[in-house]
Amino acid sequence: MRKILSMQELSEQEIVRREALQKLIDFGIDPYPAAEFPVNILANEVKEKFAAGEELKEVVLAGRMMSSRVMGKASFAELQDASGRIQVYIARDEICPSEDKTLYNEVFKKLLDRGDFIGVKGYVFKTQVGETSIHVEELTLLAKSLKPLPVVKTDAEGVVHDAVHDAEFRYRQRYVDLVVNPGTKEVFMKRTKLYSVFRDYFNEHDILEVETPILQAIPGGAAARPFITHHNALDMPLYMRIANELYLKRLIVGGFDGVYEFAKDFRNEGMDRTHNPEFTVMEIYVAYKDYNWMMDFTEKLLEKACIALNGTTEIEYGQHKVSFKAPFPRVPMLDAIKQHTGVDISGMDEDALRKVCNDLGIPVEESMGKGKLIDELFGEKCEGHYIQPTFITDYPVEMSPLTKKHRSKEGLVERFELMICGKEIANAYSELNDPIEQRVRFEEQMRLADKGDDEAMMIDQDFLRALEYGMPPTSGMGIGMDRLAMMLTNQHSIQDILFFPQMRPEKKAEKKVELNETEKLIFGILSKNSPMDLNDLKTQSGLSGKQWDKGIKGLASAGLTKVTKTDVGLTVEAV
């Protein structure tokens, strides 16, 4: 027989459940059976099919028991499976046809708890109150739950009571959040749906899903601080990828016409409502296309995704109403700046730009080149205005080292970013495929780095070698999946669309094993003269009120003393 260990440290309810577990075992019931439980329907399917008039004579469901209302010889309980909840009706004489009523009276009524996984077999009927329910003929315990779930109740008006709101609780124990807050599950199911809409769309276009290295010797393709790790056998540092762009382009060189990857990227930077150290970017590269084609492709993709998730192209994000109806407006960056600042910066040199920034009160640094200055200008004065999905096009060459020069506009590149609710959601180029030009751009980045720009890119010689073999004209695009998921599910923190957002580790208060000085002092006096009056002991110890209090409580919790109340007062004795 199994021994249940160490009941100290457990809450009353946890102890009760462990005792129930032992009793179940004593009844010969395996609380964690191994056998397959042959479910043949989900809760929501039962409701749908029954509502459609289908007769359901033998359904088998499994899930967590989320509540139970025991009413003598019959009980109602709620079963929650992956699809939702359904009421089950359990009659004593139904599940216990013989004289032995143990299964109902003892097992169901006393030993099963909220949160336990159970399986039921029975038929579907409608109760007096009109609730579709399962009339249970067989009841099976599938897994015992030892920790009580938070109690969240919904009343007749649909008002939710005592929902678990505490962010820390929800993020650290997402499994509980998912069980108890139905909205959470919905958000994550939408997120998954988003991925499958993307995959379907790309696969329809014969674009190949691929995987590229996460551990990279040179972290390329973006400007960001990487995580560094170490490979023991090779005895060399490796970086966690900050982007997968350069690898996907190598595959285009290799002859694939289109590739995409949902890439976990890692950036060793600050964390806030829109930044988690690991996050997902979908990058896609398609040969023989340009950034105009990619805009068409992107707006259709996002419209499709929005409809798939929300059933409409019109959604709300916070106080904003956002329309994902394609096509989206396309605004050249310099036009955007002109529109929102009144200044036409086309053709300006670095000094003139710096003056414009100063005049507009935008703080600039000496290390900022022309591209960076324009970026600041746009970021400070324009970005926030683009609530509706808008393609901002044609960026300065200095801030786009991997992008092809614009076919007609001097000093610019063929690049767009998609802005929604003032945030960058997608970033795309006509990819630079001239290897000599690419080398020059990397060298410019090196000069920026020397000037103090810590975001400048490192040179990837192998990538240049690949380009020298020839890469077809290609358009590439990256979408921040987390931020897009936030918008399409109306969530305002990245933590709410990641199952397990990064958190500092929980610190458990250390379990005290040894007595501290105060406790030793008190125990020393007591052990010479036990039992003794509590107040005498306190006086003799000469401790301050707080020290005394801590000491005596510490001793009691260590099980070394016992306080008894008499008519005279409190007496302490050493145990």
Site for RNA in 316-355 (CB under 7 A): none
CA–CA separation, 374 and 236 (whole Å):
39
Question: Is residue 523 a contact partner of residue 573, using CB atoms and an 8 Å limit?
Answer: no
End-to-end distance of the chain based on CA atoms, in angstroms?
A: 32
**Which residue's CB is nearer to RNA, number 275 or number 320?**
275
Tell me: does residue 506 bind RNA (CB under 7 A). yes
**Which residue's CB is nearer to RNA, number 455 or number 468?**
455
Which residues does residue 118 pair with via DSSP β-bridges, in sequence order?
A: 63, 141
Tell me: does residue 128 bind RNA (CB under 7 A). yes
**Which residue's CB is nearer to RNA, number 11 or number 339?**
11
Binding residue (CB under 7 A) for RNA from 58, 93, 162, 314:
162
**Which residue's CB is nearer to RNA, number 302 or number 467?**
302
Task: Tokens for 106, please give them.
Answer: 């003892």
Binding residue (CB under 7 A) for RNA from 25, 70, 91, 515:
70
B/e letters for 38-72, b = 16+ CB within 10 Å, e = fewer, are: ebebbbebbbebbeeeeebeebbbbbbbbebeeee
Tokens 């694939």 appear where?
A: 256
Quick one: which segment of 247-255, 256-264, 284-292, 541-549 binds RNA (CB under 7 A)? 541-549
* Shortest distance in whole angstroms from residue 231 CB to RNA: 26
For RNA, the binding residues in 476-505 under the rule CB under 7 A are: 492-493, 495, 501, 503-504
Binding residue (CB under 7 A) for RNA from 379, 452, 473, 569:
379
The footprint of RNA on this chain (CB under 7 A) covers a number of residues equal to 74
Tell me: does residue 535 bind RNA (CB under 7 A). no
Strands 278-287 and 236-240: unpaired
**Which residue's CB is nearer to RNA, number 196 or number 502?**
502
Tell me: does residue 451 bind RNA (CB under 7 A). no
**Which residue's CB is nearer to RNA, number 208 or number 563?**
563
C-alpha 168 chain-centroid distance: 13
The continuous run of DSSP H or E covering 528 comes out as: helix 517-528
- What is the 3 state secondary structure string of 50-116? HHCCCCCCCEEEEEEEEEEEEECCEEEEEEEECCEEEEEEEEHHHHCCCCCCHHHHHHHHHHCCCCC
For RNA, the binding residues in 3-32 under the rule CB under 7 A are: 11-13, 16, 20
Tell me: does residue 163 bind RNA (CB under 7 A). yes
For RNA, the binding residues in 356-375 under the rule CB under 7 A are: 363
**Which residue's CB is nearer to RNA, number 140 or number 547?**
547
CA–CA separation, 22 and 557 (whole Å):
26
Task: Tokens for 70, please give them.
Answer: 């025991």
Quick one: which segment of 38-46, 183-191, 444-452, 509-517 binds RNA (CB under 7 A)? 509-517
Binding residue (CB under 7 A) for RNA from 5, 71, 513, 568:
71
Question: Is residue 478 a contact partner of residue 286, using CB atoms and an 8 Å limit?
Answer: no
* Shortest distance in whole angstroms from residue 127 CB to RNA: 2
DSSP designation for 384 = G
Binding residue (CB under 7 A) for RNA from 72, 255, 342, 470:
72
Tell me: does residue 133 bind RNA (CB under 7 A). yes
Measured CA to CA in angstroms, residue 537 lies from 252, 529, 548, 556, 558 at distances of: 83, 9, 10, 14, 18
Binding residue (CB under 7 A) for RNA from 23, 101, 114, 320:
114
User: Is residue 186 exposed (0-12), middle (13-18) or buried (19+ Cβ within 10 Å)?
Assistant: exposed
Question: Is residue 185 a contact partner of residue 174, using CB atoms and an 8 Å limit?
Answer: no
**Which residue's CB is nearer to RNA, number 347 or number 363?**
363
For RNA, the binding residues in 204-233 under the rule CB under 7 A are: 222-224
Tell me: does residue 69 bind RNA (CB under 7 A). yes
**Which residue's CB is nearer to RNA, number 165 or number 230?**
165
Binding residue (CB under 7 A) for RNA from 57, 230, 407, 546:
546
**Which residue's CB is nearer to RNA, number 1 or number 509?**
509
**Which residue's CB is nearer to RNA, number 2 or number 504?**
504
B/e letters for 219-257, b = 16+ CB within 10 Å, e = fewer, are: bbbbbbebeeeeeeeeeeebbbbbbbbbbbbbbbbeebb
Measured CA to CA in angstroms, residue 536 lies from 533, 545, 567 at distances of: 5, 13, 16
User: Is 189 in a helix, a strand, or coil?
Assistant: helix
Quick one: which segment of 27-35, 51-59, 145-153, 403-411 binds RNA (CB under 7 A)? 145-153
Binding residue (CB under 7 A) for RNA from 34, 35, 52, 156:
156
CA–CA separation, 260 and 246 (whole Å):
12
CA–CA separation, 149 and 80 (whole Å):
13
CA–CA separation, 43 and 396 (whole Å):
56
For RNA, the binding residues in 409-428 under the rule CB under 7 A are: 417, 424
**Which residue's CB is nearer to RNA, number 175 or number 469?**
175
* Shortest distance in whole angstroms from residue 424 CB to RNA: 4
**Which residue's CB is nearer to RNA, number 1 or number 71?**
71
Convert residues 28-67 into a mask of x (bound to RNA by CB under 7 A) and - (unbound): ---------------------------------------x
For RNA, the binding residues in 233-292 under the rule CB under 7 A are: 267, 269-270, 272-273, 275
Own/partner contacts of 157-165, CB < 8 Å, gap of 24 or more, are none
Tell me: does residue 161 bind RNA (CB under 7 A). yes
* Shortest distance in whole angstroms from residue 275 CB to RNA: 5
